A and B are shown apart, each in its own frame.
Chain A
Amino acid sequence: MTDSKAFAGMMVAQPAERGKVRRLLSRLGPGNPAAFPWVLMAPTLIVLFAFGIYPFLNALYIAGQNIILSRPHAPRFFVGLYQYQSVIQDPEFWHALGVTVWFTVQAVFLEFWLGLGLALLFRRITVGAGILRTFILIPMILPPLVAALIWRYMFYPGGGLVTYYAGWITRALGFGEIPFLSDPTVAFHTLVFVDVWEWTPFMFLMMTAGLAQLPRQPYEAAEIDGASAWRIFWTITLPLLKPAILIAVVIRTMDAFRTYELIVVMTRGGPGNATTTLNVYLTKVGLEFFDASKAAAISLIMMMIIIVMSLIFIRAMRMRSQSAA
């Protein structure tokens, strides 16, 4: 603070400018530490307001009306909370919510343990670790869209690489080809698999960074006490990693919750509605049935779920770290 005042004082000492515009500019300029940061931030704040706050307010407005995009001249009127009610009474919504939550929980759980396992495995190799790490990271570097296209091909009935080689085994056992994308239950798990394939590298990266920052003393103490490796993992590594785990799991949960490309490209929410997540349901209502108002209500409900979810996460992590201390 004292620094920035000295900073400001220096600027004021400049020769006085003439003209009203000049004076106004100098009042907003670097000479005024109360106003200048706002001047610097103004463009960013305006853009974020236009695309952050405004769509939100607009969504509130649209959800209070009965707007159908395909009928722009139909009469519009205020319908109160009707749109929210129609969403909550729609069994499709509850089904989509269930699919989304189940997908997110399974994918993030698997990604976390696999990523952590992989990060710990890398502690045990030396030669070629750098190049192997690059290969591990490939799925994450690929655009999500490309990952979806690749796996759509791999799992395609009659011709996909995985379908073909897996078919060898299943035919030998007396089954037919595995219906990776055409059976509702199997298709759901196929999508979870692809999400895990794509994002385990992210968890691996975050866990590697987290492990590198752990202090060494607890391990030395545990070694003196003769603790088993298993015990050390559960009582030292995992609790100390908690901050890194929190960040990684929260980021991944938010992103898994809004997975879109993967599902649209691989199954389009089908077969039936077996893989229709909230995102897919929302775009179906909004841009296929053109029911903008109902879609806006869905998006507001989704936003609320995400906010509540992140609050719960932060609270839970805080409580556990307090009870541990």
Chain B
Amino acid sequence: MSQDHRHIVSPNAPAVQRNWWAYVLILFVCVVNFLPYLYVVLTGFMDAATSNKPEPQWIFTPTLEAFRFLLFEKDLLHNLKNSAIVSITATFLSVTLGMFAAYAIARYDFIGRDDVSFWVLTNRMMPPVAVLIPIFVTFQTLRLLDTLTGLIILYTAMQLPFVVWMLTGYFRDIPRRYEESAMVDGDTWFQAFRKVTLPLMMPSLTATAIFVMILSWNEYVFALFLTSAGARTMPPAIVAYSIGANISWNVLGAAVILITAPLIIFVLIVQRQLISGLSQGALRK
């Protein structure tokens, strides 16, 4: 720490000192963190000849050549559609199923509750690659290989522990009294749940859904080994088109833009819900 201030300030106090060297270091990290992505995005708008020159090109005339190649010649729209279907459906299913389980764990004091919630969590600890072989064999016998249904079921199962873990904390924050008073007024349990608890849970449900959606959108390992042409999603498709001997860098750039753009647009749209949902309880447990 520097000598230019007298008082030692607790790390949780609002920042008061201004150190120019702190700015220099932080700006340096920002550049290192952002520049590679920025350059790859620029590459996506180059033509093949420009992007393949050995010297980095910072000034060039932009073209959409690489996008045309990927979307129309390689039919990446098909993969984009698959990805959208799989991640939206899996998000909807896992949040819906997980919501009821989280409600049960948060609200009821039944025998074995702690064991159940711990067991649910251990499911997340398993490395995906470690369960790949048994799941591959199961998919083979159930004829789920290369189907969207198979991927949807799998992603739902993969995200459930996370959903239950997040939502249990949020449900605990909502006083039980609200539901009880609705039921005194003559509502059934489900009506009370739908009319009172659900609206209160909306921000947290949205935040959880956003996370699940992003994780499903990005999933690569299972998508790579469990699908071929028909149900292939964006991540393995993009790797196929951007790694290889005769592939030019502008295609890699365009591929990176095509997979991150929906994500960035999505996060920008839902940013506010994400922050308000996250500020309750995510890190507390």
Contacts and interface: CB of A to CB of B under 8 A. Distances in A.
* A, B bound: yes
Interface of A: 1, 3-4, 6-7, 10-11, 14, 29-30, 33-34, 36-38, 40-41, 43-45, 47-48, 50-52, 54-56, 58-59, 62, 67, 69, 118, 120-127, 129, 132, 135-136, 138-139, 141-146, 149-154, 158-159, 161, 164-165, 197, 201, 206, 209, 211-216, 218-220, 222-223, 227, 229-230, 232, 237, 254, 257-258, 260-261, 265, 279, 282-283, 286-287, 292, 295-296, 299-300, 302-303, 306-307, 310
A150 B36 contact: yes
Nearest to A59: B134
A149 B255 contact: yes
B102 to A, nearest CB: 9
Interface in B85-137: 97-98, 100-101, 103-105, 107-111, 113, 116, 119-120, 122-123, 125-137
B216 to A, nearest CB: 11
16 contacts: A3-B176, A34-B110, A40-B101, A41-B104, A44-B164, A136-B26, A138-B37, A143-B217, A143-B220, A149-B243, A150-B36, A153-B43, A215-B12, A282-B132, A303-B126, A303-B127
B260 A143 contact: yes
A158 B125 CA distance: 40
Contact of B12 (A45, A145, A216, A261): A216
Contacts of B97: 43-44, 47
B157 A149 contact: no
Interface residues of B, number: 99
B59 interface: no
Contact of B160 (A47, A62, A129, A295): A47
A219 B8 CA distance: 8
Contact of B127 (A41, A121, A151, A279): A279
B201 interface: no
Given A41-B105, A219-B10, A7 B132 contact: no
Contacts of A127: 18
Contact of A55 (B39, B100, B135, B153): B135
Contacts of A149: 40, 238-239, 242-243, 252, 255-256
B30 interface: yes
A125 B20 CA distance: 8
A143 B126 contact: no
B249 A153 contact: yes
- Which of B52, B54, B134 is most buried by chain A, counting CB atoms within 10 A of its CB? B134
Given A132-B26, A158-B54, A33 B101 contact: no
Given A121-B26, A145-B218, A164-B56, A33 B239 contact: no
A201 B37 CA distance: 15
Contacts of B25: 121
Nearest to A152: B243
Given A33-B110, A149-B252, A265-B243, A283 B129 contact: yes
Contact of B134 (A62, A161, A164): A62
Contacts of B120: 44, 48
Contacts of A62: 133-134, 137
B161 interface: yes
B110 A145 contact: no
Interface string B187-214: 0111000000000000000000000000
* Chain A interface, DSSP helix/strand/loop, else mixed: helix
Contact of A306 (B125, B137, B242): B125
B79 to A, nearest CB: 13
B180 interface: yes
A299 B127 CA distance: 9
A192 B30 CA distance: 19
B27 interface: yes
Interface string B211-234: 000000110110001000000000
A7 B176 CA distance: 9
Contacts of A126: 15-16, 18
A168 to B, nearest CB: 11
Contacts of A158: 54
B218 A136 contact: no
